[in-house]
Amino acid sequence: MTTERSLVLVKPDGHARGLTGEVLRRIEAKGYTLVALEVRVPEVEMLHRHYAEHEGKPFFEPLVEFMSSGPVTAAVIEGERCIEGFRALAGATDPTAAAPGSIRGDLGRDWGEKVQKNIVHGSDSPESAAREIDIWFPGL
């Protein structure tokens, strides 16, 4: 087994709906450790670095605009295979297609074309996790 770290974001829609505590509860219930936690409204420049691989795609600017529209809860979690585990816990990107029992399946809403309003983000690989953690929690 490999102990990993991952970045988890409770996006502005989840924060506005008061779901941060429920998301953190599920992370801890899964057995992962919270290593760092902060609430902030991210700056556009930070989001451009975070979502750099999507620059030029049609959803890039609307995603940056949404993610900078209000408070985001940023967390670094740690645990055995937590990257894969949190992504399973989060569920499919589209809340309507997400399985019951997942964060998005239980708590997500159908926003139509605005799939970025899906409550949470989780790193998708160890490389992405390292890069994202460095953006949100430099020096951690």
Active site residues per annotation: 121
Local structure of residue 124 (DSSP, 8 states): S
Binding-site residues for ATP, in ranges, read 11, 59, 87, 93, 104, 118
Local structure of residue 54 (DSSP, 8 states): G
Binding-site residues, in ranges, read 11, 59, 87, 93, 104, 118
From residue 31, alpha-carbon distances to 5, 50, 89, 118, 135 in Å are: 13, 26, 12, 23, 25
Distance CA 88, CA 71 (A): 24
Residues ≥6 apart with Cβ < 8 Å to 4: 78, 79, 80, 81, 82, 83, 126, 129
Helix (H, G, I), strand (E, B) or coil at 91: coil
